[in-house]
Each structure stands twice: as structure tokens, then as C-alpha cells.
Chain A
Amino acid sequence: MPIIKDQKLVENEYVEVASEGTVPAAGSIIVGLQNFMKHKDLFLNREGNIGVRLDSSDDVSELTSDLGKLALIVLTFPKFADGRAYTQARKLRRSGFKGELRATGEVLRDQLFYMTRVGFNAFELQEGRDPENALEAFKDFSVTYQSSADDNRAIYNR
């Protein structure tokens, strides 16, 4: 299934690597946070993009010193009503992460607007969801009040 990236449908170029699984010599891969911390040198020195997957209970500050070397960070919504990843995303953008920030798990149309504001730019919709329809969600609101990752100035500072 295609993912939504920068408000367009694109194919997912990344391959998921399990914690003790074989690491392909080249190409883009996603690894879990613990795996990444354990074999950091290996992952950062191979050919191809590296993405790290975090659980919503993980502390994003563990990645602070590596943010510039990561092409992708994947955050998880175990349930759509579990909002921890919103704060994780906001903190990662605040710490200067410029790569792809992808939402996975129970990612649904009606949360995309908020997710975009806190810094997500890629979305792996839950199985069976219509991504074309979801693209409409980015237009739900034309104005905002708060500062967030999309604009660090609240409305009165713009």
C-alpha cells in the first residue's frame, strides 16, 4: 500500500529489519530503537538510508546526537486515541530533526491535520483506508492559533 508523503501518494521505499534479522547490504531500511542503539556504527556506515522506529513510550532524546544522520524516524500510534507520539514528534522537530517523520499504527484521516502540525510529513494509513480520501484532511482548517512544528509562532507572533 502506498504511503502519504508531503501530501502525495508514494511507494514506501523502506524495508523493515527485525531486531536480530539480516541487514541488506544496500537500500533503505527501518530498525527499532534498541537495535539501532546497539549497532549504531554498523547502521550509520552502510550504504542506503536509515530509519529508526520508536514506540510511544520511548524517550526521543536518546536520538538527539544522531538526528542529522537519520533519513527517517517512525513514530507509532498503538491506538489513535493514544496521543504520546504528538509530543514525540514536536520534540524531535524542536531538536532539529529535518528528515522524514512518519506516523504508523492506527493512523486515520481525521487526525492527519493535527499530526501535520506537530511535524509529521509522512503517514502510513491503517490497512484498508482510502488514502485518496485522506488527502482531503489536510484542508480541514485554513487557520490555526498555536505555535507548533509547522510554525513556531503563535498567531499573535506571526
Chain B
Amino acid sequence: MYQYTSTDKKIVTERADQFQGQVTRRVSGSVKELEFKPLRLQNGLYMQLHAYMLRVNVPYGLLNSKQLRMNAHIARTYDKGYAHFTTRQNIQYNWPELDDVPKILKDLASVEMHAIQSSGNCIRNTTSDPFAGVARDEIEDPRPYGELIRQWSTFHPEFAYLPRKFKIAVTGTPDFDRAAVRVHDIGVRLVKNDKGELGCEIMAGGGLGRTPVVGKVLRDWLPREDMLTYLDAILRVYNTIGRRDNKYKARIKITINETGVDKFRAMVDEEFELMRDEGTKLTQAELDRVSKQFVAPTYKKLASSDSALTKFKLSKERDFGHWVTNNVIAHKVDGYSAAVISLKTKDTPPGDVSDTQLDKIADIADKYSFGEAVVTHAQNLVLPNVETEQLPALYAELKEWDLAEGNYNLVTDTICCPGLDFCALANARSIPVALEISERFADLDYQEDIGELNLKISGCINACGHHHVGHIGILGIDRRGKEAYQLMLGGSPSDDASLAQIIGPALAPDKIVDALETVLKTYLGLRTAPEERFLDCYRRVGATPFKEAVYADN
């Protein structure tokens, strides 16, 4: 894991001091709320429905046990005893007092964490593949590139007041995108060219929100040394021509669509060539310095554990069997596995963990996974380096703390925004829908029968729950003053990126989960084999049979 240099430390400490000063000036009245707003936003501090919300960055999702414990401390001391993991691999606190925020930032700085640019119209936290470093299909660890982007974007003086927020994602697995790079403002894929040289493919203009767009390729291969210069060039063009007259037209996806991708690319290329050999060019020494910090832990020499895994899956203890079947992912090193800790349990909003659970997860990470855990964009945690033989012991400990739900990538593993329970933008609640779904489909045998399913819920069209790219998406709307839900089918954030389509009129809160169940029953009747996932089946048969089944009574 990346260790801060003295410069990195100074920056987060000085930021905490700067924010302390800004809060003092705000409290004394010499800074008005209108000016304070962008300052607090660039420190991750939002005003929500009931209170401030603080968003803490987790660069590329990676946390060590010390950081987990500090977040447990923050949840306990400054919040109501819990933390919330978000769809961008970050942590949110829903109840901090303004006066406490500088103290929280100092606590975070002490474990090499920060909230810099976690909101506001600037470059946000860089996200990545939660299985980075351990995935079998990875060609290069994307985290060093995420870290390079984090440093480049931190207090970038030119791009702190962009037309709109700006999100970058990186993946090192070109054949299986788990970082949703095509629906980011910029997506970076590490790829090899014809000569086998490693470089970056750069995509831009993807995004969800009100106008979902799949990103377009600007460069299919770029030397790694030029990555940051090229990002500078994209941002410079966007900062100059991006629209500022209408916030709903201000994202780079609109800029590229209105300019035309070829013209936009030409503008970026012109800017890039002017700067290519100047001071942003990465050196081999810098690439090495950062890469070296992500070296693999010292694995034991173990035999392949594939047969042990098969045995565990068939375990007589059914819950454990389900958990191994669904939550354990193949590891690139023999004898090891990556295990997903589901944060989608029956009675808790998706992504929430208590302070005591966080402390426990820290202990578990130390004991079973070299002291590290990774936040996923599906609001779960991954223990990336578990000895396969230790899975039964790990499972037993997780179970004791209500962290052993075996539903990874199944219907109850919903992605869900905070919705109208917390958010000032929302039109409808989303957490109660997620909780009803986890109750309705509680039976894991039923869930496994339905198979891989990404269900995503947003409480408004801003799409924080990524409903456009759910195999099934649920969108909360306000229909004549009442909450209602649109049902959308057929989205995917991965290599086969597609946007889900609305199948009919919005449904009342007491009908939406029934409709979901109808869709899934229809799918079970239509699929050619259990291997045909819902998404594949939908793509084969189209929306009509689902539509007819859901709206049969109307």
C-alpha cells in the first residue's frame, strides 16, 4: 500500500489547518455561506436534509487496518456510531457538526487519509477495480496509476473551479471492466499495443446522471509517461469550452457530444503536443517509486486450492456453502482467495457499517488478509488476500458480526443511494425499497437460482445509485407529490456497457417490489439454461414479455 512521503503528509496536514481557518472565519461571519460553500465542498462537506455530511476519500478503495480503526473512531466520536460506504468507494458520515470537521480532518491526516476534493466542481477521488493486484485476469496493477492521478489532481491549481464535477476511473483488466471506466468523465484502461508495450487507453465523456452516455475513446494507446499530460490537456480543453450556463449541460459528456468527438479530440491533441515533453511527463523513476509501494504481500508457497473451494461450496453447512459460492473470488496466487464482505444485510441500509463492525473488520483484515481491505463500487468490502484454507474460520468470525451475507452479485446485493431519507436532491426514498427487496428475496437458494444480477436503485434522476447501468434499475420519482418508481431493464457498466430502458409507467411504493419479482419470475420461465443470466436473456428476448407480465393487470 502507498505510504505517504513527507510532502504528501504536509499537504493533508496543511489542508486541515487551512480548513480550520476557513471554519473560524465562517463562524465569525467574515466569510458568508455562499463563499464558504465551495470551500467546504472541496473538503467533502455537504449540507444535506438534516445535517452536514462529510465524504472521505478512499483512493482506489484501498484501506489498511489502521485506517479502518480510525474510521471506527470517527463514527463513534463524531457521528451516530456508523459509517456509510458509497458507490465511488468512499466513506460518508451523515451527522458531523461543523466545529468537529477540522478535528476529523486532522484525525484522518494522521492515518494518511483526507476529504480533499471529495465534492465540488473539481477532480474527484479516483476509483479502480476492487480486485486490483489479485485478479487473475489483470495485466497490470491499476492502483499505482490511481495514486499518480490522485497526486496530480490534488490541489491542481487550474482545475479547482471546473464547469462541473469530474470523475476518473482506472482499470488494469482490459477484458473485464470492474471499474465502470466507460461511465466516467475519463476512463483509463491499461492496455498493451501491437508490440506488447504497456500503455493507456483513454476514454472520455461517459457518465450517468440525467443524461447517461457511454464514454468515447480519445486515444487507443498512449505511453504511460504521457498519461498525466494527456489528462491535463483534456481538462484544459474542458475548462475552456465546457458549458457554464446550465449545470445540467456542464459535464464533459455534453461538451463532447455538442463539440463532436473528433473535433474535441483534435483540440486535446493540439494542447497535448504543446506540453508533451514539458514538466508533467512521468519519469521511469517516478513510475517505479509509486509502483514499488503496491508490491504483493509475502505469500506462502501453497498448492492450488481449487479443490478445497469445490469442497467448501458443497459444504453441508448451507450458509457457508452459499457464501463461498457467491462471495469468494479466484485469486492469482495458488492457495489464496479474495473474499467479499457483503454490506447488504437484511436490516441495515446498503453500505452501512457500525463502528464496532469497522473495528472488527480491521482485526479480521489483520488476521486473514495482510491488514488490508478494499471498498467496492457496489458498496461492499473485499479482503483481497485470504488463504483459502482459512475461509471457514474467517466465515465464522464474520458471521458473529453480521457480516457473512452470501449474496455478492445476487439480487439482494443492491447498489442504493441515500435517497430521500438523507439527501436534499432526492425525489423518493431508496433505502426502504432496498430493505424490502432483501426481505422478499432473503432465501439464498432462490437468489442463487436467479443468478448474477446487478440491481441498482436511485432516489432521483441524478443517478447516484447508477440505475442506468443496473441489469435492473429502479428510479425513484416524484409523481404529483407522491413517491413512485420506474423500473428499468438491461443496463451494464462493464465491457458490454449498455443503458437500461424504462419498461412502462412508474409504480407505487407498494407495487415496485412485486413488479421486480414478476420480472424475475418471467426471466426464470424464459431463460434457456441457468447459465443464461438475466441480462443475457433480456438482450435475447427484449422488453416485451417483461412489460406484459408487469402491467398485465392494467
Q: Using CB atoms and an 8 Å cutoff, list the residues of chain A in contact with chain B.
A: 80-84, 86-87, 90, 94, 108, 110-111, 113-115, 117-118, 130, 133, 140-148, 151-157
Contacts and interface: CB of A to CB of B under 8 A. Distances in A.
B122 to A, nearest CB: 9
Interface stretch (B44-52, B277-285, B315-323): B277-285
Contacts of A113: 157
Contact of A147 (B22, B35, B151, B278): B278
Interface in B170-218: none
A114 B244 contact: no
A35 B161 CA distance: 29
Given A145-B11, A145-B156, A153-B279, 16 more contacts: A80-B161, A81-B121, A83-B161, A86-B157, A86-B159, A86-B160, A110-B35, A118-B158, A140-B18, A141-B11, A141-B155, A145-B154, A145-B155, A154-B280, A155-B7, A157-B280
B152 interface: yes
B99 to A, nearest CB: 19
B11 A146 contact: no
Contacts of B156: 145-146
A115 B158 CA distance: 8
Contacts of A80: 35, 38, 161
A2 B482 CA distance: 56
Contact of A156 (B15, B22, B31, B283): B283
B35 A108 contact: yes
B7 A83 contact: no
List 10 A-B pairs, minimum CB-CB distance, nearest first.
Answer: A83-B161, A147-B279, A117-B157, A156-B286, A153-B279, A114-B157, A152-B279, A86-B158, A87-B239, A145-B151
Contacts of B15: 141
Nearest to A152: B279
Nearest to B278: A152
Q: How large is the interface on B (under 10, 10 to 19, 20 to 34, 35 or more residues)?
A: 35 or more
Nearest to A151: B279
A108 B39 CA distance: 11
A81 B280 contact: no
B223 to A, nearest CB: 16
Contacts of B38: 80-81
6 contacts: A83-B158, A83-B159, A84-B240, A86-B159, A141-B155, A145-B152
B236 interface: yes
B265 to A, nearest CB: 18
Interface string B513-533: 000000000000000000000
Contacts of B292: none
A146 B157 contact: yes
Contacts of A146: 152, 155-157, 280
B113 to A, nearest CB: 17
Given A83-B159, A110-B35, A141 B14 contact: yes
Contacts of B240: 84, 87
A117 B18 CA distance: 17
A110 B22 contact: yes
Contacts of A154: 152, 228, 279-280
Contacts of B158: 83, 86-87, 90, 114, 117-118, 148
A111, A118, A154 — which one has the most chain B CB atoms within 10 A of its CB?
A154
Contacts of B282: 156
Nearest to A147: B279
A80 B465 CA distance: 31
A145 to B, nearest CB: 5
A81 B158 CA distance: 12
B274 interface: yes
Interface string B9-51: 0110011001000100000001100010011000000000000
A60 to B, nearest CB: 9
B162 interface: yes
Contacts of B286: 156
A126 to B, nearest CB: 10
Interface string B256-289: 0000000000000000001000111111011001
B14 A94 contact: no
A127 to B, nearest CB: 14
Contacts of B281: 157
Nearest to B244: A82
A82 B156 CA distance: 15
A152 B162 CA distance: 22
A141 B283 CA distance: 25
Contacts of B121: 81, 83
A130 to B, nearest CB: 8
A147 to B, nearest CB: 4
B285 A156 contact: yes
A157 B159 contact: no
A101 to B, nearest CB: 14
Contacts of B157: 86, 113-115, 117-118, 144, 146, 148
A155 to B, nearest CB: 7
Contact of A83 (B154, B162, B278, B289): B162
Nearest to B154: A145
A118 B22 CA distance: 22
Contact of B280 (A84, A140, A144, A147): A147
A25 B410 CA distance: 79
B321 to A, nearest CB: 49
Interface in B376-392: none
A134 B154 CA distance: 22
A94, A115, A148, A151 — which one has the most chain B CB atoms within 10 A of its CB?
A148
A87 B236 contact: yes
Given A140-B18, A141-B11, A145-B151, A81 B161 contact: yes
A118 B156 CA distance: 10
A84 B121 CA distance: 13
